[in-house]
């Protein structure tokens, strides 16, 4: 079982803030050897790390000087809103607490990859309350809870809920809290999920409050960026992130921009039609760090030099009277554009869903076979990250590692037809 060594190595690289090359050099092994130690167990190339090397890495981590501002100090995961276990906003995180959460997510990888099972949440019930459209967020929160051994109750839309009969958020939240041990809530109004929190002591997770925030998506996005960067020799500090599309109503970019701003010296290029620019409140918050922010309507120039291109869907369902003039087919991220302006290591991300309807100009499907397209690695990462969120909120994160057993059923080594290409570069 090499999963523990992968967690140890990823944790060490994160805490030392080192690329794979720098870390291999630091521990005196070849980059190739380090890569094979980091491969998932099911990969034919995966190798066990010699005992002496793992002892050395553990010592290195223990010796990290506490005064070094570039490395991580306090290292215990916590997700607290006003002192209580709820996840409402990325504002609840420091860089240290984010990375501690990612360490928990790394321990979940063998379960997310269906090699192992755990029952640490056996008997616990999740209420998945979605008052707005969702596929991946609802299912992945449900699947994450089930993979920790819990069970899930769902409700979708207003029509079939008592809110259609005029019930208040307070009453709904208090009632459901009597049935379930955690609430995941998506609601079309900004700030609404905070109202659920007022009526309950059971952990509540914001799965999207209108154009407000989507913290779990931002966490899985950042987790993806770190994992992908580690492979191509980059770190988040100093990177160039281009965000494209509906930055006004896109809650995923609101949360992600704030979360990335916890790092150092980033360049943000914000590319959108003028009517859909990033809200001033988010800009204010990210300008407080040592970051460079550029805003433009020009996709071609905006994407140049970007390490990450984060595309988003135009959120038409939230429009008041905005026009999207200028949002023409030229605004689409497709293979030709990526080939002409992006580098060989540029990551192409999107929270999904992609709007595939004619005239939507969303991220093109012609990139589907390009390994720079990280969208399905991103969705896959939703499971370990959401498992980590539940484990921390419900206080079982330390029990997971020791509770794992082998999965009894057979699952494919690669989930999708393109994953051999994608995961071959893991």
Binding residues (CB under 6 A) for ligand NCD: these are 136-137, 208, 214, 217, 251-252, 313, 351-352
Phi, psi of 208 (to 5 degrees): 125, 110
Q: In this complex, which beta carbon is closest to ligand NCD, that of residue 181 or of residue 213?
A: 213
Q: In this complex, which beta carbon is closest to ligand NCD, that of residue 107 or of residue 252?
A: 252
Nearest approach in angstroms of CB 217 to ligand NCD is 5
Nearest approach in angstroms of CB 352 to ligand NCD is 5
Q: In this complex, which beta carbon is closest to ligand NCD, that of residue 73 or of residue 316?
A: 316
Burial of residue 295 (CB within 10 Å: 0-12, 13-18, 19+) is middle
Q: In this complex, which beta carbon is closest to ligand NCD, that of residue 53 or of residue 129?
A: 129
Nearest approach in angstroms of CB 382 to ligand NCD is 8
Distances (CA, A) of 345 to 131, 221, 338, 340, 408: 38, 17, 11, 13, 37
Q: In this complex, which beta carbon is closest to ligand NCD, that of residue 103 or of residue 252?
A: 252
Nearest approach in angstroms of CB 351 to ligand NCD is 4
Q: In this complex, which beta carbon is closest to ligand NCD, that of residue 102 or of residue 141?
A: 141
Q: In this complex, which beta carbon is closest to ligand NCD, that of residue 177 or of residue 252?
A: 252
Q: In this complex, which beta carbon is closest to ligand NCD, that of residue 136 or of residue 174?
A: 136
Nearest approach in angstroms of CB 126 to ligand NCD is 17
Nearest approach in angstroms of CB 286 to ligand NCD is 19
Q: Which residue is nearest to ligand NCD (CB)?
A: 313
Q: Residue 227 and residue 221: Cα distance in Å, rounded?
A: 10
Nearest approach in angstroms of CB 134 to ligand NCD is 6
Nearest approach in angstroms of CB 27 to ligand NCD is 37
């Amino acid at each position: 079982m090499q999963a523990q060594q992968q967690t140890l190595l990823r944790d060490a690289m994160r805490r030392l803030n080192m690329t794979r090359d720098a870390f291999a050099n630091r521990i005196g092994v070849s980059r190739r050897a380090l890569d094979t130690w980091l491969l998932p167990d099911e990969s034919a190339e995966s190798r066990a790390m010699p005992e002496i090397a793992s002892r050395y890495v553990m010592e290195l981590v223990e010796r990290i000087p506490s005064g070094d501002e570039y490395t991580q100090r306090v290292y215990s995961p916590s997700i607290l809103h006003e002192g209580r276990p709820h996840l409402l906003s990325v504002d609840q995180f420091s860089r240290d607490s984010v990375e501690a959460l990612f360490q928990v997510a790394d321990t979940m990888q063998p379960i997310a990859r269906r090699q192992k099972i755990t029952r640490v949440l056996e008997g616990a019930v999740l209420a998945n309350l979605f008052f707005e459209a969702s596929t991946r967020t609802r299912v992945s929160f449900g699947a994450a809870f089930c993979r920790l051994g819990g069970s899930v109750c769902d409700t979708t839309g207003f029509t079939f809920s008592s809110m259609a009969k005029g019930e208040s958020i307070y009453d709904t939240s208090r009632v459901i809290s009597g049935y379930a041990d955690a609430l995941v809530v998506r609601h079309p109004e900004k700030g609404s999920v905070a109202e659920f929190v007022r009526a309950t002591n059971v952990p509540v997770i914001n799965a999207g409050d209108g154009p407000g925030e989507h913290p779990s998506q931002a966490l899985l996005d950042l987790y993806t960026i770190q994992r992908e960067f580690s492979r191509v020799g980059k770190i988040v500090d100093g990177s160039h992130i281009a965000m494209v599309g509906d930055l006004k109503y896109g809650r995923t970019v609101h949360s992600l921009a704030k979360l990335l701003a916890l790092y150092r010296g980033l360049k943000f290029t914000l590319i959108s039609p003028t009517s859909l620019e990033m809200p001033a409140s988010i800009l204010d918050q990210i300008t407080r760090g040592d970051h460079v922010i550029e805003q433009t309507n020009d996709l071609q120039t905006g994407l140049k030099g970007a390490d990450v291109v984060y595309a988003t869907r135009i959120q038409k369902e939230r429009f008041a009277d905005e026009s999207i003039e200028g949002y023409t087919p030229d605004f689409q991220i497709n293979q030709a554009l990526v080939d002409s302006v992006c580098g060989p290591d540029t990551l192409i991300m999107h929270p999904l869903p992609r709007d595939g309807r004619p005239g939507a100009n969303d991220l093109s499907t012609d990139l589907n076979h390009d390994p720079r397209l990280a969208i399905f690695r991103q969705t896959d990462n939703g499971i370990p990250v959401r498992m980590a969120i539940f484990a921390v909120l419900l206080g079982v994160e330390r029990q997971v590692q020791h509770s794992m057993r082998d999965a009894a059923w057979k699952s494919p080594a690669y989930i999708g037809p393109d994953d051999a290409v994608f995961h071959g570069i893991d």
